[in-house]
Structure 1
């Protein structure tokens, strides 16, 4: 029996050794897998960390620079401004800030009046005129006043001095009244701040501009601070402007002698590229 037991012990030992060897192989394989996974995770974490530091996960709001507002339009309410018209508001961003644009006003008084809008000095005034012109806001309206300062007053469809769009905006490009010379023995003559042909905005109240504007048909030298934003200068149609300046005025409903005795009607008012096609016929008339 002894040899048989020895043999059984040897067989059992061999079986145990084989099982131990297989377990050792499996354990080495498991360790290699875990080591590979660990290394991969480490590489992945390093890559993700580098990308995070580099801003790869930043949102578009952080990486994209938003365009700044160029003009701000103050909304008005219809209840408080019954004479105003809701035509929306111009855009606040991506507006021209350099160069000039052409303003063309065709009236019933003769050849069109053209003016160069100073976009660089009055970007918001030019943008508002362009926007309203695109809405045909001025077409078919009357210039309702001729003022004793030598300007025709237009751009109020209601003719009340209260009309305009349901927004307002601040003054731009107002001329500065120079300080009088200290050595002057007599009061200095007021300088001309609004030469003939100047186009300005006029707000009611002051510094609250909308659609209303003035075109000066003679020089104006205010003795107090200037309050009209200059937006441009007449470049054509001066004969028409001079004719308008000679129209007799009568007393209006408020008791002021500013109402033109004959109508001054704006047939069309255009700005920019549209103005070129409108101005072309008048060029042939003048030639």
Structure 2
């Protein structure tokens, strides 16, 4: 079988000023320091890729990041949890800032037993990467219920890159995929794509292949 990225297949923490009132006047004071973790993105990979420089190798280990997503089928909102998957969320934010996902389409839909919509491959082949891969050893995995966003990989350590999936119906499979967060708005858009089914002959089976209803990412930006 050709090597394929399959499911069964932030910037550095900053200390900024804040204000507190002292005798009626605002006085600058440090914000609490956000804990960080080290991430190793220096794993080049062969194969089809849309090359992009990796992010810096320190990631926030707490905090929620909201990403507004415009697609060809309507608006979505992703709420990403840095504590759940610090290296993966950090990488996702970096790719959003680099406009990596803009113009890409979700290339895989599964609608029987495994209920996911897989996206994030700029080559639209199911094999594409950023040109680098990484591990997320502290990531939360498992609990792939409806609305969850998680990284897609080859079920091997160090094979995360740009591909991710959205769970459109509660699913149960091996807990190998870092959980980024959830779709906090717009699951009706995902449901519309899922309801359209799979284009015959485009994947592994009649229930696993390219979605009939295309979902193309127009823009992504942090809120």
| TM-score, normalised by the number of residues in structure 1 | 0.59
1:245 and 2:213 correspond: no
* Gap regions ≥5 residues in structure 1: 1-67, 176-192, 277-287
Cα displacement (A) at 1:205: 5.6
Alpha-carbon spacing, 1:74–1:127, altered in 2? closer, same or farther (3 Å): same
Residue of structure 2 in register with 1:195 after alignment: 145
Larger radius of gyration: 1
Cα displacement (A) at 1:269: 2.1
| Bigger relative contact order (CA 8 A; separation at least 6) | 2
Count of residue pairs the alignment pairs up: 182
How many angstroms apart in 2 are the aligned matches of 1:160 and 1:256?
A: 16
Residue of structure 2 in register with 1:134 after alignment: 97
Indicate conservation of the 8 Å contact 1:162/1:204, yes or no.
no
How many angstroms apart in 1 are the aligned matches of 2:193 and 2:155?
A: 26
How many angstroms apart in 1 are the aligned matches of 2:199 and 2:156?
A: 25
Residue of structure 2 in register with 1:85 after alignment: 50
Alpha-carbon spacing, 1:226–1:127, altered in 2? closer, same or farther (3 Å): same
1:263 and 2:177 correspond: no
Give the structure with the larger helix fraction: 1
How many angstroms apart in 2 are the aligned matches of 1:101 and 1:196?
A: 19
Task: Please point out which of 145, 162, 167 is paired with 2:108.
Answer: 145
Give the structure with the larger strand fraction: 2
RMSD of the alignment, in Å?
A: 2.0
1:173 and 2:143 correspond: no
Taking the TM superposition and a 5 Å limit, the aligned residue runs for 1:1-287 are 70-77=38-45, 80-81=46-47, 83-93=48-58, 95-110=59-74, 112-148=75-111, 149-171=114-136, 172-175=139-142, 193-204=143-154, 206-207=156-157, 208-222=159-173, 225-254=174-203, 256-257=205-206, 258-270=209-221, 275-276=222-223
* Gap regions ≥5 residues in structure 2: 1-35
Indicate conservation of the 8 Å contact 1:161/1:204, yes or no.
no
Cα displacement (A) at 1:268: 1.2
